[in-house]
A and B are shown apart, each in its own frame.
Chain A
Amino acid sequence: MDTLGVIEVLVRVLWIAGAVCFVLGLVRMNSPATARNGNLLSAGGMAVAIGATVVLILARQALGDGFSAVGWIIIVLGVALGGGLGLYTARSVKMTAMPQLVSLFNAVGGGAAALIAIEDYLNLAGANAAVPLSTNVFIVLDIIIGSITFTGSLIASGKLQGMIPGKPIMVPGGQLVTLALAAVTVIAAVILFVTGTPNVALMLVILAAALIFGVTMTLPIGGADMPVVISLLNSFTGTAVAMAGFVIDNPVLIIAGALVGASGAILTKLMADAMNRSVINIMIGGFGGGEGTVGAVAGAGGSVRDVSVDDAAIQLAYAERVIVVPGYGLAVAQAQHGVRELAELLEARGVDVKYAIHPVAGRMPGHMNVLLAEANVPYPQLKEMDDINPEFPRADVALVIGANDVTNPAARRPGSPVSGMPILDVDHAKNVIVMKRSMGRGYAGIDNELYTLPQTGMLFRDAKEGLSELVAAVKAL
């Protein structure tokens, strides 16, 4: 074996080492205590894999292909631009804007995977040789999945950022357009597979159809379904990267892509289960009316009782056990620091405070946990649904902040849009205080029966201002 051969082997060994770091890093994500370490390990593996690739390219050029100045200029400029943008956005983003940023990073990952396949296909077309079926299949899959992820994640990110309305956007005949695009893509792909000759025009048709498909697929999906969509798109990107690995015959891309594809698939399933809806049903979209589209309908279906800030403060301050139920309203109002301040005041008075986290509260899996962690809430206080539900009957006060459908007892009966959805048993608490801006309906577009229960008091406030009033009132006691 010549020198280049030895280097090629060593680089592949280092790629395996990188893949091992990814797996071990993910294993360490199993506990908050080791998770940060795990992420650093994963980043280390990435650095090793990329460093090895630099060595490989240098060796190939020095010992064979000849130096390609343009290639290096492209790499250096690309890394500088992408790295700068990534670093800047990642460091400057507010924690409440996390879901859209993760979605944006997902988009560019999928886009890069698609570009690799496109470039590879153009090369094959330039050589004008017959393309083997296996190469063809992976190139086409990579282009399709990568492009759908690219535009789909951009739309999801835009919706989360508020640049595109979060409510389901239904275009007349939109489902037909989506179906037609899918049909065009499949037909073009089959023609490419059967003929086996490179056909750039058909490849561009597939590319365009997949890009538009990503848009039409994501537009009709409403805000509260975003945890499912983001997980699914994350899974797609992983798969696209694995396909890119098949295209350029690179095992580390296949391994890393498959890992991410699997993790995204699991999260998607968990999120869909937490809403008791199928992934298909969610992706078809159009569910509910989107938050706030139905105006204030005070008293609909029963009478509600207002509670004053002072009364609420007294209930909380003299309780033994309080369970806080945060929802997306907390994130919108950026009230996570306020809730921690209130909880600390209550704990100083000897109240036991816990947080009940519904799996789909917020806009991405685990969204509430990150927000509360940012506000310095210790993670052992954050309880998952199954752990906290048995504790509601013993709770003196359940404080619901900006959460709606996940607390609706109607979910336990058939015949409602939320039927069968696992909910937090807030109605079992002795007293319930609901802090929300108005009687506006939640995502499912139905009235929340919790609000008309005798033990429920409504505190009509924005979460941030309501919490600061509560803090002041508790301090004054």
Chain B
Amino acid sequence: MIPQDVLDLLNNLTIFTLAILVGFAVISKVPATLHTPLMSGANSIHGIVLVGAMLIAAEVDDPIGYLLAFVAVAFATMNVVGGYVVTDRMLQMFRKKPAARKPAEADAEAQA
């Protein structure tokens, strides 16, 4: 009989290994043109750590725990929100044909 905690560990390792293989398979096809948005998008995905930070925050009951959980939630949210927004900003710029827009508009966007 395998003890339950060892079984849990094996399950988690299985998930981990398969997810790495999926990552390799999916990412190796991305063209160099999209490497920056890819990295930035992947960056946002690891913001999932917010889920962990929230679960921890709901259970802390001492001042040090409050502080750690607060910083963890703030860090993770910054990662999620900033990551997705900045990736979207990058990706909306990729166009197949030059869009008809005035240079002034482009400059204003560059300043923004």
Enumerate chain A interface residues (CB-CB to B < 8 A): 15, 18-19, 22-23, 25-27, 29-33, 35-36, 38-40, 42-43, 46, 49-50, 53-54, 56-57, 60-61, 65, 68, 70-72, 74-75, 77-79, 81-83, 85-87, 89-95, 98, 101-102, 105-106, 108-109, 111-113, 115-116, 118-120, 122-123, 132, 134, 230-231, 234, 237-238, 241-242, 244-246, 248-267, 270, 334, 337, 341, 344, 357, 359, 364-367, 369-370, 373-380, 382, 384
Contact = CB atoms under 8 A, between A and B. Distances in A.
A26 B42 CA distance: 8
Given A105-B78, A250-B51, A32 B96 contact: yes
Contacts of B60: 70-71, 74, 119
Contact of A369 (B34, B88, B106): B34
Going nearest first, the 5 A-B pairs with the smallest beta carbon separation are A262-B23, A78-B73, A86-B82, A366-B35, A82-B77
Given A75-B73, A98-B86, A370-B90, 7 more contacts: A39-B44, A82-B73, A102-B86, A108-B78, A254-B15, A264-B39, A384-B33
A119 B64 CA distance: 9
Contacts of B33: 32, 357, 366, 369, 379, 382, 384
Given A95-B110, A373-B95, A89 B43 contact: no
Interface of B: 5-6, 8-9, 12, 15-17, 19-24, 26-61, 64-66, 68-99, 101, 103, 106-107, 109-110, 112
Nearest to A99: B36
B26 to A, nearest CB: 5
B48 A258 contact: no
Contacts, number: 406
Contacts of A262: 19-24, 27
Contacts of B57: 71, 74-75, 78
A304 to B, nearest CB: 31
Contacts of A382: 33
Contacts of A33: 96
7 contacts: A39-B41, A105-B82, A105-B83, A242-B16, A257-B46, A263-B39, A376-B98
Contacts of B76: 82, 108-109, 112
A412 B14 CA distance: 45
B58 A252 contact: no
A237 B39 contact: no
A23 B35 CA distance: 16
A451 to B, nearest CB: 26
A254 B16 contact: yes
A46 B34 contact: no
A78 B23 contact: no
A370 to B, nearest CB: 5
Contacts of B16: 242, 245-246, 254-255, 258
Given A79-B77, A259-B19, A54 B54 contact: yes
Contacts of A123: 65
Contacts of A89: 82
Nearest to A376: B98
Contact of B34 (A29, A75, A94, A101): A29
